[in-house]
């Protein structure tokens, strides 16, 4: 065990008479430090995991309750927002179906490629074995059914007869093995060809399902477009638009405030803390900055992050190691992912078309966590991106790598 070993080292550090007091203290502090690490390592890992899971569960419950309060419908605008949420969540579910079918189709394509290759190899093997079988059958036919007798009549020495019979036995076994190998290859080839047929049928069915789901997706897009047109009619004047933006911002701030209360207790192990990555973090998407931090968004309103113009369905990637603490729909933000990076740093990724990570999932730098979309009421695809420190939005330009 590690603990008794390090206890022995401590006793030795204290018991060395030839060492000065500072030297013995240094040795003791070193041994104690190593002992504390060893003690931590000896504790059962599930205890840490259970503690973190409990914290996340508490966080989830509070966020869920808060979301329910925020979704109360009082006005026609609230009803429109609720309907938009319903349609966009259904569309996200449909898109996940499309992604799954695409994945299945790619896998079936790979399986078919392997089966075709296997079929080709087996067919070549069958042809070679067929030539061997034909040669053996021809030799057996020429000798006739009395082949053992002919061997015996031509031999005079009994020992020689025994050797020849033994040789003949090996020849017969070899012929039988050739026939068995040939039959085995044919059976294996039949199985491969049946598998090919099954995979081809499965692929055709998946493609049919994909076509149907894509049709559903188009219908949902039309419903969303009609709903957005109606919502825009309610925002004819600047006052209505600012009121809407203020409401959406307050809801986001409520979520951030709830998260801040809990994430400070979550453990985010990392070799390089977020605070040391200033100016070195990767961009979350490939795209241009449509609206920058601090630019005007209307009277008395400014952007607190970046709105990045990006291609629809392009991958949204985590900028740093961390843990997902929010993965849900939020009014005005659409499908939103928030990642806790430790040291009171959060990163936010909004308006996604589909979320690929759930609350509690660990993410690594550059890992895809969502797909770019326009949920939350955007007219075109973009990613809204924020970095927060102690709940306060900071300029992403100071943290991300400069673009070449």
pLDDT at 143: 60
pLDDT at residue number 379: 85
CB proximity list for 23: less than 8 A, separation 6 or greater: none
**C-alpha 396 chain-centroid distance:** 25
What per-residue confidence (pLDDT) applies to 304? 93
Check residue 122 and give its pLDDT: 87
Write b or e for each residue in 260-298: b if 16 or more Cβ atoms lie within 10 A of its Cβ, otherwise e.
bebbeebebeeeeebeebeeebebbbebebbbebeeebe
pLDDT in tens, 164-215: 566 666 767 777 888 888 888 888 889 988 988 998 898 899 888 888 888 8
Structure tokens at 374: 């326009």
For the stretch 273-277, contacts whose Cβ atoms lie closer than 8 Å and that sit 24 or more positions apart, written own/partner, are 273/342, 273/343, 274/320, 274/322, 274/341, 274/342, 274/343, 274/345, 275/343, 275/345, 277/320, 277/399
Supply the pLDDT for residue 259: 85
> Would strands 368-372 and 315-317 be described as parallel, antiparallel, or unpaired?
antiparallel
CATH number of 268-398: 2.70.70.10
The tens-digit pLDDT sequence of the chain (404 residues) is: 444 444 444 444 444 545 444 454 445 444 444 444 444 334 343 344 556 777 777 777 777 777 777 766 666 667 778 888 888 888 888 888 888 889 899 998 999 898 898 888 888 888 888 888 888 777 766 665 555 556 556 656 666 656 656 666 676 777 788 888 888 888 888 998 898 899 889 889 988 888 888 888 888 888 888 877 776 666 566 667 777 888 888 888 888 888 887 776 677 776 789 999 999 999 999 999 999 999 988 767 899 999 999 999 999 999 999 999 999 999 889 999 999 998 889 999 999 999 999 998 999 999 999 999 999 988 899 999 999 999 999 999 999 999 76
pLDDT at 277: 92
């Amino acid at each position: 065990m590690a603990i008794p070993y390090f206890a022995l080292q401590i006793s030795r550090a204290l018991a060395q008479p030839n060492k000065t007091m500072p030297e013995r203290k240094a040795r003791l502090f070193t041994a104690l430090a190593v002992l504390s690490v060893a003690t931590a390592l000896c504790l059962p890992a599930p205890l840490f995991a259970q503690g973190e899971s409990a914290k996340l569960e508490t966080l989830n419950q509070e966020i869920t309750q808060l979301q329910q309060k925020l979704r109360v419908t009082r006005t026609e605008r609230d009803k429109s927002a609720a309907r938009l949420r319903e349609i966009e969540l259904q569309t996200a579910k449909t898109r996940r179906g499309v992604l799954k079918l695409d994945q299945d189709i790619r896998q079936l394509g790979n399986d078919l490629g392997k089966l075709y290759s296997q079929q080709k190899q087996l067919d070549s093997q069958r042809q070679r074995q067929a030539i061997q079988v034909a040669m053996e059958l021809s030799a057996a036919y020429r000798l006739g059914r009395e082949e053992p007798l002919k061997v015996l009549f031509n031999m005079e020495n009994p020992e020689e007869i025994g050797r020849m019979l033994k040789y003949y036995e090996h020849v017969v076994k070899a012929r039988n093995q050739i026939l068995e190998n040939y039959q085995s290859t044919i059976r294996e080839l039949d199985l491969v060809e049946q598998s090919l047929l099954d995979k081809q049928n499965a692929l055709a069915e998946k493609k049919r399902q994909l076509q149907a789901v894509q049709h559903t997706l188009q219908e949902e897009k039309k419903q969303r477009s009609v709903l957005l047109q109606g919502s825009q009619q309610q925002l004819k004047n600047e006052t209505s638009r600012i009121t809407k933006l203020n409401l959406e911002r307050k809801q986001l701030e409520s979520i951030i405030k709830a998260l801040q209360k809990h994430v400070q207790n979550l453990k985010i192990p990392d070799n390089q803390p977020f605070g040391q990555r200033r100016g070195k973090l990767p961009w979350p998407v490939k795209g241009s900055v449509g609206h920058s931090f601090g630019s005007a968004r209307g009277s008395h309103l400014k952007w607190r992050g970046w709105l990045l113009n990006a291609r629809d369905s392009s991958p949204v990637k985590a900028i740093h190691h961390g843990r997902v603490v929010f993965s849900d729909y939020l009014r005005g933000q659409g499908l939103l992912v928030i990642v806790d990076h430790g040291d009171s740093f959060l990163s936010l990724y909004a308006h996604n078309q589909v979320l690929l990570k759930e609350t509690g999932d660990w993410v690594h730098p550059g890992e895809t966590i969502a797909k770019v979309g326009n949920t939350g009421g955007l007219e075109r695809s973009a990613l809204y991106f924020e970095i927060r420190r102690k709940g306060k939005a900071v300029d992403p330009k100071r943290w991300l790598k400069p673009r070449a």
